[in-house]
Amino acid sequence: MVDAIIFDMDGTLLDSVDLHAQAWQEAFAHFGYDFEFSRIRSQIGKGGDQLLPVFLSPEELKTKGKQISEYRSDLFKRKFLPQVKPFPGVRDLFERIAANGQKLGIASSSKGDELSTFERIAGIEDLVHAHTSSADAERSKPYPDIFEAALSRLGDGVKKQNVIVVGDSPHDAEAAKRAGLRTVGVRCGGFPETDLRNAGCVAIFDGPEDLLNRYYESPLARA
């Protein structure tokens, strides 16, 4: 039996990947950098500590990295956060899982204050047993730190072989695999199915509503 399910947030429960990519693109542009949207989007799911080194040199990271990250965070809250919406079926899926006696966790590369807001937008704040953000991990995805923190907060009675991760990006699957966890991928974040499977996803669904409709035939409920 699957005892607990840990969800990623952006692109998995919330339709926010494009918005995050736009915020990063505008933040880079503010500091004089011109990066293609598609290139930035492919990195969404990572925290700023792992995303910025993809685009900046070590010297640029040292002199501008913190400024860019802080500008991006403020810009996202001001301009893009009001546009964030949950995917269909999120609340119903979480209620189904809770009714089945399984624990629910969130493991996101978002900052702590952002994660609380995202949970309210998704309508699930009263159903989550464990919350982990970038503040709870030394390194963000694709490193396993955030999932390892979520596991510890789910309690000693939850064994990793009985935990499933649900995520939309290869970074989720890679991080979960490093933590010894299996991942179910969802297409709603816009990442190619081939990339999700290559990263280690054991099954692929369209999104939360598809998982809800096929819950009892999915790895989430499978003995």
- The residue ranges of every structural domain in the chain are 4-16+85-217, 17-82
Which residues are CB-contacts of 109 (< 8 A; sequence separation ≥ 6)? 10, 45, 46, 47, 50, 133, 134, 140, 141, 146
Whole-number pLDDT of residue 157: 84
* Positions of the chain with pLDDT under 70: 222-223
Say whether pTM exceeds 0.85.
yes
Handedness of CA 53, 56, 58, 63 (dihedral sign): negative
Whole-number pLDDT of residue 223: 58
Whole-number pLDDT of residue 136: 85
Whole-number pLDDT of residue 166: 98
- Which of 186, 175, 147 has its CA nearest to residue 163? 147
4-16+85-217 and 17-82, same CATH topology: no
4-16+85-217 carries CATH number 3.30.70.1230: no
**Which residue's structure tokens are 């918005």?**
19
Which residues are CB-contacts of 199 (< 8 A; sequence separation ≥ 6)? 170, 171, 172, 173, 174, 177, 183, 185
Determine the CATH number of domain 17-82: 1.10.150
